[in-house]
Amino acid sequence: MHTAAPTFAAPRGEQVYAAGRLHGDMASCLFCDRLRSPTAIPGGAIYEDDLVHASHYMDEETEYLGYLLIQTKRHAAGVAELTDEEAQAVGLTATRLARALKAVVGAEKVYTYVFGEKVPHFHCLVVARYRGVPEEYWRLNLGDWPEAPRGNAEAVAELARRLRRTLESASYSA
C-alpha cells in the first residue's frame, strides 16, 4: 500500500516522549517488542508495510474475535507525534481493515479508537460490532456482551488468515 522506507527515529526536529520523559530506549516498549517478536502474535500480521503493522489483538486465553490493532513501526507516543505519511497509512489501513471485517465476519458496525494511555506507542484499535449486539453492549462495552464471539489463539489465527486473504484479493483504487 505504501512505499515509504521504514524509519525508527523521530521526525527531524521532533522528540518522542513516553510517560513524560524522552523515550530513546525502545527496549521497554510493549509494542516495539511486538514488532521484534512477530511470531508471538497469533495469526501474525494481517497487513504490514514500511510504516504500520496490523494484527489481531490477543491479551487473554480467549479474545473477542474482530479486535484488531494497527500500530506504527516507528515508536511514536501518540497521534500528534505521527508524521503525515504515518497518519495517512493508519487511516487507509483502518478503512481497509473495516471493509475486511464487514466482508469476513459480517460486522454491522466497525469502531476505531485511540487512547494511548497505557502503552505510549501509537496504536489504533479497529473493532467489529456484530449484528444483534444489544445496544447496552455497543461501543466500549462489546467485550462485556455474554454472547460475544470469542476464540483461542487458533481461532484468532484463522480469522487473521481470512482477513489477510480478503485484503490481498481486494482491488482498491489509488
In a domain, 5, yes or no: no
In a domain, 165, yes or no: yes
Torsion angle defined by CA atoms of residues 40, 154, 140 and 116, in that order, rounded to the nearest 10 degrees: 10
Place 62 in a pLDDT band, splitting at 50, 70 and 90.
confident
CATH of the domain at 70: 3.30.428.10
Residue-number span of the structural domain to which 64 is assigned: 17-169
Place 35 in a pLDDT band, splitting at 50, 70 and 90.
confident
In a domain, 155, yes or no: yes
Torsion angle defined by CA atoms of residues 127, 133, 137 and 140, in that order, rounded to the nearest 10 degrees: 10
Residue 12: pLDDT over 50: no
pLDDT (average), residues 41-60: 93
Burial of 158 (0-12, 13-18, 19+ CB in 10 A): middle
pLDDT (average), residues 72-86: 96
Integer Cα distance of 55 and 63 in angstroms:
13
Integer Cα distance of 126 and 114 in angstroms:
9
**For the chain, how many structural domains are there in total?**
1
In a domain, 122, yes or no: yes
pLDDT at 49: 96
pLDDT at 16: 35
In a domain, 12, yes or no: no
Cβ contacts of 104 within 8 Å, gap of 6 or more: 159, 162, 163, 166
In a domain, 92, yes or no: yes
In a domain, 8, yes or no: no
Residue 10: pLDDT over 60: no
Residues 129/107, Cβ–Cβ less than 8 Å: yes
Least confident of 38-42, 97-101, 170-174: 170-174
Output the average pLDDT for the chain: 84
In angstroms, the Cα distances linking 155 to 29, 42, 126, 147 are 27, 9, 18, 16
Q: Which of 172, 174, 170, 148 is nearest to 46 (CA)?
A: 170
pLDDT at 11: 34
pLDDT exceeding 70 applies to what percent of the chain?
A: 82
Residue 21: pLDDT over 50: no
In a domain, 1, yes or no: no
Question: What would the pLDDT profile of 112-132 be if each residue is shown by its tens digit?
Answer: 999 988 889 999 999 999 999
Integer Cα distance of 77 and 87 in angstroms:
13
